[in-house]
A = this chain, B = another copy of it.
Amino acid sequence: MTTEKIDGVSVTTKASVYFDGKCVSHGITFPDGTKKSVGVILPATLTFNTGAPEIMEGVGGSCEYKLDGTDTWVKSGAGEQFSVPGNSKFDIRVTEAYHYICHFG
The CA-CA distance from A17 to B15 in the complex, in Å, is: 14
For the residues of A in contact with B, the DSSP-based class is: strand
- How many monomers of this chain does the complex have? 2
Chain B residue with Cβ nearest A16: B40
Interface contacts beyond A6-B13, A8-B9, A13-B99: sample of 6 additional A-B pairs, CB < 8 Å, sorted by A: A3-B13, A5-B10, A5-B29, A14-B60, A15-B40, A26-B38
The CA-CA distance from A14 to B96 in the complex, in Å, is: 13
Interface status of A32 (Cβ within 8 A of chain B): no
Contact present for A22 and B24 (CB under 8 Å): no
Residues of B near A55 (CB, < 8 A) are none
Contact present for A5 and B13 (CB under 8 Å): yes
Chain A residues packing against B (C-beta within 8 Å): 3-15, 17, 20-22, 24, 26, 28-29, 38-40, 42, 59-60, 97, 99, 101
Question: Which of the residues B5, B15, B29, B97 comes within 8 Å of A38, measured between beta carbons?
Answer: B15
